Amino acid sequence: MDAAKQLVHAREVGLKTGMVLQKRLKNAQEAFSGRVQQAVGEPGAGPINPMAGMDPMSSYAYAIDSMQRAILFWDTLRQRGNNFVENTMQGLKPVLHFGYETVLDARQFERPVNYALLKIIPPDGVTIDDSRRPYVIIDPRAGHGPGIGGFKDDSQVGVAMRAGHPVYFVIFFRDPEPGQTLLDVCEAEQQFIKRVRELHPHSAKPAIIGNCQGGWAAMMLGASDPGDTGPIVINGAPMSYWSGAWSEGEGDNPMRYSGGLLGGTWLASYTADLGNGKFDGAWLVQNFENLNPSNSLWDKYYNLYKKADTEPPRFLEFERWWGGYYLMNREEIEWITRNLFVGNKLWGGEVKNAGGKAFDLREIRSPIVLFASMGDNITPPQQAFNWVVDIYGSTEEIKARGQVIVGMMHRSVGHLGIFVSGKVAQKEHAQIVSVLKSIELLPPGLYGMVIHERKGSDGVDYEVQFEEHSLEEIASRLNRFERADEKPFETVANLSDFTQRAYELFAQPYVQAVSNEMTARVLREFHPLRMQNWLFSDLNPWMAWLKPAADAVRASRQTLEPDHPLRQQEQVGAEMLSAGLDAYRAVRDAMTEYTFFNVYANLFPFQPRSEPTARAGTPAATDPHDLPEVKAALAAVGQGGYAEAIARLACLLSRRGEPLPLSRLELRKELVTDYADLLPELEPDAWREIRGRQELITRYAPEQALATLPALLRYQADRQRLQALAEKLRVDERLLGARPTVEQTAMLERIRTALGAKPERVRGAAAPLTRAS
């Protein structure tokens, strides 16, 4: 690009980012003003009287209450510190709410890793049916310890166990094994799944639940060992790291810019070298803390102070997980940052397993459920869904491969709420567990799972529907700017490779030479997040007076009512401080985004050009008939047997363009079970692949599909099975009330006419199918 074009490009970038920056700053100012106005009172209601409650007795009562709450507040922080010290000395145990027993300890494997497989022990009153599908939950290894998926009774673990399923949990220990890599972890998890299958030989394949980074671990597991994994559910999982919202009104996702503003992956390597080869997870937790300074610095502490009599148990329970910091090997954090965070290589097939084979996510044969939230600024919906857009060229390819992908969107819950919120567990996770078997019966395609809430006299009931979508529709809905904002991230990746090599060449030898286990331990212990725990524990002799003082306060507590004028003024001040910190965050994030694009969008034209990756929504072939998946399906229109005939009939008679209620899927599941002897004996993934190809045939060549139907039923035995199936369905009481549509009635007549013709003998036909294999 010459200088003139570069100047024009820079001006365009500056104008676009400047307009978005102005809009964001205006939104930040309006949000701050609105919160302040709401805190001090509605317009016209008159300002809060600063002298209200200032009589001597009220002031004295407030002083006593506030001082007592302060002592209880600091005593809670002391207890948090003691819990931190105790947990650290014990090696940081998982924070699971349930009892468990160890099934496999991967530290004893040939390639040892610091992972283990636990079996959750059901609590009293919960009965487990070992013949039901087992659930395997993988928690994120993002600085914290494991257990968030079973953190409380209303959790992923609790929901699955109450439904009668055996539940297994993949945990990890604080210290990594020497030399372990993420590929070693993946192989260990494959052994975990094989062991679960051995323990439940007569059950359906285990469902894999992956939380956050555990989501891409579950996807790598499913791609590397598709024969052993059942349905995969990934919750808030960042699969396409460069994606995010970039528009004037929806807010931004600041974490996706951090790699570029920090200069790439070298900082993770530097931090691991300072740790004598181990990366301290506290730095990852610090990044999460920095995302929301109002909560990290003020809100959660003021809430504890305000509710000092009731809040400590909940505060301490959460901090036990949030305040446990785990370690990674240098090889692990470098693999994550280079391949995922900055490189964004997982979906592109550039990441290879230990055997040298690329992880191809299209090889996953089981249904995939994606759960994301519009309120998640760590894993926005674009990061959770865009990998589907990247690896599949079209909706037709999803169908041709027999894949079922179900998306579910929450409107507002934050990232942690996806795993921690009891309300989310009771609604979304409970419905996922209840419909997972039915999801396996969905025809191949891309679906949205919608949960309708109905309140009645007996409580709240939920009704689940599945709405089919096209990949192109989802791509355009999530990416209104056609992902033009992702191009600068390619520059970040190239720059990161340069800075990484520069660090390894010029600085790494020196850093490694001056680091040892003693210096690494000192740096870890004096990390600010650890210091804020042990500094206020009983290890500090200046805290010795606090416990007796807190016990005395509890014995003579003088509580002031929350609606007392001075308590209300206190809350007004707290709300204004919180609003100020939120305004700071909004301005900071807006400036971060502005800076990122003005640096890297201007560098993008100078980087070496490569062939652009084909993306769904902009296929090379405008006519669907020209797509290779459609051509391959149409070329095989007269090939197959009984299984293909049943699938084609189902496609011809299906109702298009209307939501699929769960009740219809449940009925389908019952019918499949009752008439198993008259249906093809196929694995679910093989059946879905056949169904997907037949759907392409009936959609793009309906007349040819009808004309060649007799060729699929060329053997008398197959026709007799079909006739027996049709007769049983005709008199089945569960179907008597179902009336076919006008289109279905007409199609039934055409099918009868087509099958009345003498079947054509196809050259090279296979043997008769008395039981499809």
Percent of the chain with pLDDT over 70: 91
Per DSSP, the three-state class of 242 is: coil
List helix spans (H) across 292-400: 293-294, 300-306, 312-322, 330-336, 381-391, 395-400
Block residue for tokens 């200032």? 54
pLDDT at site 769 = 35
Q: Is a pLDDT exceeding 60 seen at residue 764?
A: no
Q: Which two tokens stand for residue 253?
A: 């996702």
Count of beta carbons in the 10 Å neighbourhood of residue 209 = 31
Burial of 672 (0-12, 13-18, 19+ CB in 10 A): middle
User: Any idea which of 58-62, 422-426, 519-523, 765-769 has the lowest mean pLDDT?
Assistant: 765-769
**Would the pLDDT of 383 be above 60?**
yes
Q: What is the mean pLDDT of residues 29-36?
A: 93
Q: Which has more pLDDT, 326 or 56?
A: 326
Read off the pLDDT of residues 118-153 as tens digits, 9 standing for 90 and up. 999 999 989 999 999 999 999 988 888 898 888 888
Find the range with the poorest average confidence among 240-254, 401-415, 743-757.
240-254
Here the tokens at position 474 are 């989802």
Average pLDDT over residues 494-506: 95
List the one residue out of 544, 563, 554 whose CA is nearest residue 68.
554
- Is the Cβ–Cβ distance between 75 and 157 less than 8 Å? no
Rounded (to 5) percent helix, strand, coil in the chain: 55, 10, 35
Q: What angle do CA 162, 465, 140 make, to 5 degrees?
A: 50
Q: pLDDT (tens digit, 9 = 90+) per residue, 215-273?
A: 989 999 999 888 899 999 999 998 888 988 766 444 567 888 999 999 999 999 999 99
Helix and strand counts by DSSP (H, E) for the chain:
32, 13
Given this model, what pLDDT does residue 619 score? 43
Bridge partner residues of 135 (DSSP): 167, 207
- Kindly report, residue by residue over 482-493, the tens digit of the pLDDT: 888 888 999 999
CA distances from 649 to 108, 557, 636, 654 (A): 53, 75, 16, 8
* 496 residue type, one letter: S
Instruction: Indicate the DSSP class of residue 362.
Output: G
- What are the backbone angles phi and psi of residue 120, rounded to the nearest 5°? -80, 130
- Of 46-50, 299-303, 416-420, 615-619, the range with the lowest mean pLDDT is 615-619
Helix (H) or strand (E) holding 405: strand 404-410
Round to the nearest angstrom and report the end-to-end CA distance of the chain: 59
State the residue for tokens 């499949």.
Answer: 672
CA diameter of the chain: 103
Q: What's the rounded mean pLDDT across residues 315-323?
A: 91
Mean pLDDT, the chain, whole residue set? 86
**According to the model, what pLDDT value does residue 247 have?**
60
Higher pLDDT: 313 or 457? It is: 313
* Average pLDDT of span 43-70: 76
Q: What is the DSSP string of 57-113?
A: HHHHHHHHHHHHHHHHHHHHHHHHHHHHHHHHHTT-----SSEEEEEEEGGGSSS--
3-state secondary structure of 138: strand
- Residue pair 680/772 in contact (Cβ under 8 Å)? The answer is yes
pLDDT (average), residues 197-207: 94
328 and 278 Cβ atoms separated by less than 8 Å: yes
| 590 vs 357: which has the higher pLDDT | 590
The radius of gyration of the chain's CA atoms, rounded to the nearest angstrom, is: 30
> Dihedral of the CA atoms 205, 211, 212, 213 (nearest 10)?
-60
Question: Given this model, what pLDDT does residue 53 score?
Answer: 59
Q: Look up residue 129 and give its two tokens.
A: 């049916």
Q: Which of 433-442, 511-520, 701-710 has the highest mean pLDDT?
A: 511-520
- What's the pLDDT at 514? 96
Mention every residue, 6+ apart, whose C-beta is less than 8 A from residue 430.
Answer: 159, 163, 462
Q: What is the token pair recorded at 84? A: 């931190």
What distance in Å separates the CA atoms of residue 212 and residue 323, rounded to the nearest whole number?
Answer: 18
- Please, are residues 142 and 292 in contact by the beta-carbon 8 Å criterion? no
pLDDT of residue 249: 47
Could you give the 3-state DSSP secondary structure of residue 543?
Answer: helix
* Nearest-angstrom CA–CA distance, 706 and 625: 18
pLDDT tens track for 666-701: 777 787 888 888 888 888 888 899 999 999 999 999
Q: In this predicted model, what pLDDT tens digit does every residue of 598-649 receive, in sequence order? A: 999 888 666 655 544 444 334 444 577 888 889 999 999 999 999 999 888 8
Give the integer Cα–Cα distance in Å for 160 and 154: 10
User: Cα–Cα distance between 272 and 278 in angstroms, integer?
Assistant: 5
From residue 554, give the alpha-carbon distance in Å to each of 113, 312, 317, 548.
47, 13, 20, 10
Q: How far is CA 604 from the centre of its chain?
A: 30
Q: Residue 762 class from Cβ within 10 Å (0-12 exposed, 13-18 middle, 19+ buried)?
A: middle
For residue 736, name the pLDDT band (cuts at 50, 70, 90).
Answer: low
Question: Backbone dihedral region of 356: left (phi > 0), alpha (psi from -120 to 50 degrees) or beta?
Answer: left
Please say whether the beta carbons of 693 and 398 come within 8 A.
no
Pairing of strands 99-105, 115-121: antiparallel
Cα distance between residue 511 and residue 282, in whole Å: 20
Q: Kind and range of the H or E element at 664?
A: helix 662-674
For residue 759, what pLDDT is reported?
46
Strand ranges inside 173-322, DSSP E: 207-211, 232-235, 278-280
The pTM for the full model equals 0.89
In angstroms, the CA 719 to CA 768 distance is 11
> Cα separation of 98 and 121, whole Å?
7
Residue 420 token pair: 């921690």
Q: Contact 265/496 with Cβ under 8 angstroms?
A: yes
Q: Which helix (H) or strand (E) holds 661?
A: strand 660-661
Select from 391, 386, 385, 388 the least CA-distant residue to 408.
385
Per-residue tokens: 82: 């003691």
- Residue 761: the pLDDT is 47
Q: Could you write out the DSSP letters of every residue in 682-723?
A: --HHHHHHHHHHHHHHHHH-HHHHHHTHHHHT-SHHHHHHHH
Q: How high is the pLDDT of residue 47?
A: 53
Report yes or no: 14 and 8 within 8 Å, Cβ to Cβ. no
Region of poorest pLDDT, from 195-199, 244-248, 395-399: 244-248
Tell me the average pLDDT across 565-576: 92
Q: How confident is the model at residue 44 (pLDDT cuts 50, 70, 90)?
A: very low
Percent of the chain whose predicted confidence (pLDDT) is above 90:
48
